Structure 1
Amino acid sequence: MRATRSWMLMRDGEAHRRLRGLANPLFTARAIREITPRIDGIVHQLMDDMGEGPGVDLIGSLAALVPVTVFCGLGGLPVEDRDLCRKWTDALGHVIDPAADEATRRVMNDAAEEFAAYIAEHLDRRRAAPQDDIISRLLLAEFDGEKLSDDEIIANVMMFFMGGHETTVNLIGNGILALLRHPDQLRILREEPGLIDNAIDELLRYDAPIQLVARITTGDIDLDGTTIPAGSKVMILLGAANRDPLRYDDPDRLDLRRTDVRPLSFGGGPHYCIGALLAKAEARLVFTELLRRHRNIQLTHGDIAWRPQVNIRGLRELRVDLTS
């Protein structure tokens, strides 16, 4: 609670506007374009290390490593610490899971304290010698004459890691699985690589990385004759909304050529995911390079192991046979 109460994800009104305003310049379209060559280099190196052959785990060898490697580099944290950051991030991901048990909460608390101490150490170093990284920029940023406190910087760096990790890993993993289960759509993407941006939106719609979000109503809402009073906590099922038959024709069909695809997988309104453009850029580079390198990608076996969270939809692993 000490950490999450400072997350912009958990704030509203002026407090949210202030935090978001300070962090927004780091995630604009222009900022993402400027760092795309660095992300591309990371993707190429990870694929070189991954290699090819039978039974390659695309989650552990690629999808789970891309966002944490990217954010370590952008955040000013040693890339050699990525496995440690990933361990903490995996634990923190349960904070938005409504079904977390007591043992999981203890693991989360330990991870929050350890991760906060780790970031605080690097924050002190950046204060003494600022660099061109996210921690330094947050330290120096001003919005309406205000700066972030150390606790706010630490908490939101943790949030960026957690949010960026879960969305990107599951966008890549769920997306690759969907394409392998729909070889006609995989063939279309190979033949028409210019569809990649539309394909990513359709894959986000078809199998959202985050399936639900919690909100509190700010006024009475009438829904099909039922009134939800102001101040009510509601769970919004993003995965269901993405397959609403009133919004999309044949919504259970994957169609990379589908028009007017606007998935709600990154939320909406003031709390629209601040890192959505970064997640899409990472996924775009991964899909493009994976299909360029490997002419044949097949599931190693039919058993698919999903992670147990209620709201996070992602794979434990994705074993595939890769050939050039």
Structure 2
Amino acid sequence: MIDSSQFDATRDDRKTAALVAERLTVAPESRVVSSLAFARELLRGNATKQAGEEFLGDPAFTSVFFLDGEPHKRKRQAISRFFTPKVISTRYRAVMEQAADTLLAGLRTQGQGRLDQMSFELAVTVAATIVGLTESNQAAMAKHIQATLIALRVPTMSRWRRPVGQLQATLSGLRFMLCDVQPAIKARRAQRREDVISHLLDEGYPDRAIFVECITYAVAGMITTREFIVMAAWHLLGNDTLRERFLASTEADQIVTLEEIMRLDPVVNILNRRVTADTLTSSGSVTEGEKLVFDIRAANVDEASVGACPYALDPDRARRVKTTGSYLSFGDGGHRCPGAQVALNETRVFLDRLLRVPGIRLHREPDLCWTDVLMGYELRDAIVTCDPA
């Protein structure tokens, strides 16, 4: 156990605080919620809905990530079977371990590797298994998905660059559809399996709606997990005490350490909601029509809820203050990330193996980048090296 008395008010273990403080912006008409207790009450209640719902299409074929109320509840219940602890341990665990072993075998052979590339390939393999994108080459599909992500940057491009970016995004999406999504749909039309695409076919989804779901899972599962794996590796490789504790811990305690890392450097920084009814809670009140921005990062370091020295990385914190270790890092309430345990488990499997590679060390720290569309950080070009195989 780490002795919390070693922490002081000036200690700050966050890696991305300065970048987020510089780049994170919210609409001036929005009210920022930074209290963890108040945020939890609102997110677990029924007084808010996702901002932007008015732009949705047919709810029958809209992703669960963008719905509210009964439509959201029904779809959430329908997909919950893909994310249970039992399914993670019996169906996905072997996929995680095999993918991690393959990636680390390549690392041992080459003597070095890029963490963001390895973590993305792992995240793609695991998410593809859950979704059902298993009828094409996984390495090629990872490149196809990466190419489609240029669509996230189109709104921030200059006026002359935007048409070119839009064309690139369209062509990349078409390639992903033809090479990866349609073969998966065809195979599951012939024979259903236990995955999301089979479920969507049972629900009558057209091919285009299935494609949108696949892109949504790519952003929600693959992209965020990539950043989290690199961030957790950065913390662990740079702190010998934390690393030794992680390697000596049980699987459950390793998850606790990862949750504490995500508390300090959450991949998702804000959630946008709008208030649907005047509401009074034990922590405050909101008024119908208000636009709320839940500041996840601020809530995660709210000393009133997380305890003293909130900027210090302390794996024993959640146990000491008797709360869930992920705080708001995966959201809360009905819209809490359904794949949270998948992300934590694949990160744990990979890092437990990575840190045991002989001579493993962080040769180059990652570059800190920012994406305005997602209001989140990106970590690129972190290099790890190891002893020759």
Fold conserved between structures, TM > 0.5? yes
Query: More displaced, 81-90 or 156-165?
Result: 81-90
**What is the CA–CA distance in structure 1 between the aligned matches of 2:330 and 2:216, rounded to whole Å?**
15
Residue 164 and residue 323 in structure 1: after superposition, are their counterparts in 2 closer, same or farther (change >3 A)?
Answer: same
Pairing partner for 2:361 from 260, 284, 298: 298
Q: Is the 8 A contact 1:93 1:162 kept in 2?
A: no
Corresponding residue SS for 1:314: strand
Residue 186 (structure 2) pairs with residue 124 (structure 1): yes
Displacement, 1:299?
A: 2.6
Structure 2: 5+ residue stretches without partners: 1-54
Residue 107 (structure 2) pairs with residue 50 (structure 1): yes
Q: Is the 8 A contact 1:116 1:154 kept in 2?
A: yes
Q: Is the 8 A contact 1:116 1:155 kept in 2?
A: no
Residue 309 (structure 2) pairs with residue 250 (structure 1): yes
Residue 301 (structure 2) pairs with residue 239 (structure 1): no
Identify the residue that residue 320 of structure 1 maps to in structure 2. Answer: 384
Pairing partner for 1:284 from 323, 333, 348: 348
Displacement, 1:181?
A: 3.1
Residue 138 and residue 29 in structure 1: after superposition, are their counterparts in 2 closer, same or farther (change >3 A)?
Answer: farther
Larger of the two Rg values belongs to structure: 2
Q: Is the 8 A contact 1:180 1:298 kept in 2?
A: yes
Identify the residue that residue 143 of structure 1 maps to in structure 2. Answer: none
Residue 217 and residue 101 in structure 1: after superposition, are their counterparts in 2 closer, same or farther (change >3 A)?
Answer: farther
Query: More displaced, 166-175 or 72-81?
Result: 72-81
Residue 243 (structure 2) pairs with residue 191 (structure 1): no
Q: Is the 8 A contact 2:262 2:326 kept in 1?
A: no
Structure 2 matches for 1:1-324, cutoff 5 A?
A: 6-35=62-91, 36-51=93-108, 55-60=112-117, 62-74=118-130, 75-78=132-135, 80-89=137-146, 91-92=148-149, 95=152, 100-101=156-157, 103=162, 107-117=168-178, 118-140=180-202, 147-150=203-206, 151-194=208-251, 195-220=253-278, 229-248=287-306, 249-258=308-317, 259=319, 260=323, 261-294=325-358, 296-301=359-364, 304-310=366-372, 311-323=375-387
**What is the CA–CA distance in structure 2 between the aligned matches of 1:28 and 1:21, rounded to whole Å?**
11
**What is the CA–CA distance in structure 2 between the aligned matches of 1:220 and 1:107, rounded to whole Å?**
45
Displacement, 1:105?
A: 5.6
**What is the CA–CA distance in structure 2 between the aligned matches of 1:323 and 1:237, rounded to whole Å?**
42
Structure 1: 5+ residue stretches without partners: 141-146
Identify the residue that residue 42 of structure 2 maps to in structure 1. Answer: none
Q: CA RMSD in A?
A: 3.3
Displacement, 1:77?
A: 2.1
**What is the CA–CA distance in structure 1 between the aligned matches of 2:280 and 2:172, rounded to whole Å?**
41
Q: Is the 8 A contact 1:69 1:79 kept in 2?
A: no
Q: Is the 8 A contact 1:56 1:322 kept in 2?
A: no
Corresponding residue SS for 2:273: strand
Residue 227 and residue 26 in structure 1: after superposition, are their counterparts in 2 closer, same or farther (change >3 A)?
Answer: closer
Displacement, 1:127?
A: 0.7
**What is the CA–CA distance in structure 2 between the aligned matches of 1:244 and 1:52, rounded to whole Å?**
45
**What is the CA–CA distance in structure 1 between the aligned matches of 2:387 and 2:58, rounded to whole Å?**
44
Residue 88 and residue 76 in structure 1: after superposition, are their counterparts in 2 closer, same or farther (change >3 A)?
Answer: closer
Q: Is the 8 A contact 1:116 1:158 kept in 2?
A: no
Q: Is the 8 A contact 2:154 2:166 kept in 1?
A: no
Corresponding residue SS for 2:368: coil
| Amino acid aligned to 1:298 | R
Displacement, 1:192?
A: 3.2
**What is the CA–CA distance in structure 2 between the aligned matches of 1:83 and 1:241, rounded to whole Å?**
39
Residue 33 and residue 81 in structure 1: after superposition, are their counterparts in 2 closer, same or farther (change >3 A)?
Answer: closer
Give the alignment's TM-score, normalised by structure 1. 0.83
Q: Is the 8 A contact 1:67 1:165 kept in 2?
A: yes
| Amino acid aligned to 1:71 | A
Displacement, 1:69?
A: 1.6
| Amino acid aligned to 1:243 | V
Which of structures 1 and 2 has the larger relative contact order (alpha carbons within 8 angstroms, sep 6+)? 2
Q: Is the 8 A contact 1:90 1:162 kept in 2?
A: no
Displacement, 1:38?
A: 2.4
**What is the CA–CA distance in structure 2 between the aligned matches of 1:207 and 1:125, rounded to whole Å?**
40
Displacement, 1:230?
A: 2.0
Q: Is the 8 A contact 1:89 1:165 kept in 2?
A: no
Query: More displaced, 187-196 or 260-269?
Result: 187-196
**1:75-115 deviations in whole A, cap 9, x for unaligned?**
142352443344425644865x8974463666545544544
Q: Is the 8 A contact 1:93 1:166 kept in 2?
A: no
Give the alignment's TM-score, normalised by structure 2. 0.70
**1:203-251 deviations in whole A, cap 9, x for unaligned?**
111211111222222234679x997542333322212211222222211
Query: More displaced, 104-113 or 182-191?
Result: 104-113
Q: Is the 8 A contact 1:58 1:173 kept in 2?
A: yes
